[in-house]
Amino acid sequence: MSQAALTARVSTSRRRRARSASGASWGSPTTYLVATVLISICIAPVLYIIIGGFRSNSQITVNPSGWPDPWVLTNYTSVLSSSLFWQQFGNSMISGVATTAATVALALMASFVIARYHFAGRNAMYSLFAAGLMFPITVAITPLYLLVKNLGLTNSLLGIILPQIAFALPVAVIILVPFLAAIPKELEEAAAIDGASRLGFFFRMVLPLSLPGVITTGILTFVTAWNSYLLPLFILNDSASYTLPLGVQAFASEHSVDTAAVLAFTSLSMIPALVFFSIFERRIVGGLTGAVKG
């Protein structure tokens, strides 16, 4: 074989490898097309609600899918100037923060015991938390309402916070146990040799190393509590104690003919959860990946 033919063959081989590597790194165009379609399906309703709040009712009636012309700010300003909206916003914030803090704290303690210690009933305890994933709140809503009523917690935020903690714990424990179990035993032994107590090891070593799982469970718990609708619907019966999901339903019923104002109220009620979820999206993916690997 001549030198020119050998050089041409080597060049062709290199180009093929380059194309192959390029295709492997960028992926198939079909994948991007499908991903774009799915993302558009998910984002389009949200954008419609947000943009619809900048339109007037006449614009929505004439062209439901049109662009604001002109842009109307009064729908949002009227909602933001309402004291009832901010009261319901505060109720949702209190419910979400309290549920998240208590769930993460309790799940960390339970997961630490299940992951790090061997005792009779350990597997049964873990199975009990896993079984909690199979019982959605819709199944237990009637006996749960009777229990909350007997405790005198109806029409109070505590009446929805406590059940939300109970139903969020199984997911949090299932995510956190693999993180805590993956911490090497040698670290605990070294900490004990250095004089650290079990609580000292927990706060100084366990918490920093399991931070991705803690953040993941915290975000999922907060977003779930923020969007909770069925439980507050049964427990709360006063508009002043409503959370935002109930506030949206009540506002839509009261202003059924004012579609633009309803869209503005709805978009303002969901923006905090969307922003919170978007900021920590990578943390959620990383935390769930670590839990699966564990």
Dump the DSSP string for 251-263. HHHHTTT-HHHHH
Dump the DSSP string for 25-92. HH--HHHHHHHHHHHHHHHHHHHHHHHHTTS-HHHHHH-TT---SS---HHHHHHHT-HHHHHHHHHH
Question: CA 227 to CA 158: how far, in whole Å?
Answer: 16
Superfamily of chain region 79-293: MetI-like (1.10.3720.10)
From first to last of its 294 residues, the chain has per-residue pLDDT tens of 554 554 555 455 555 555 544 444 566 788 888 888 888 888 888 888 889 889 998 888 888 888 888 888 999 999 899 899 999 999 999 999 999 999 999 999 898 888 888 888 888 888 888 888 888 888 888 889 999 999 998 889 999 999 999 999 999 999 888 888 888 888 877 878 877 777 888 888 888 888 888 888 888 899 889 989 999 999 998 888 899 999 998 898 888 888 899 999 998 888 877 777 777 666 665 555 554 444
**Biggest distance spanned by C-alpha atoms of the chain:** 94
pLDDT digits (tens, 9 = 90+) for 122-150: 888 888 888 888 888 888 888 899 999 99
Question: CA 160 to CA 154: how far, in whole Å?
Answer: 9
Residue at 227: amino acid letter: N
Per-residue model confidence (pLDDT) at position 219: 86
Q: What's the angle, vertex CA 201, arms to CA 195 and CA 204, rounded to 5? A: 110
Question: CA 78 to CA 84: how far, in whole Å?
Answer: 11
Token pair recorded at residue 138:
């819709």
Contacts of 38 (CB under 8 A, 6+ apart): none
Per-residue model confidence (pLDDT) at position 6: 45
Question: CA 47 to CA 252: how far, in whole Å?
Answer: 19
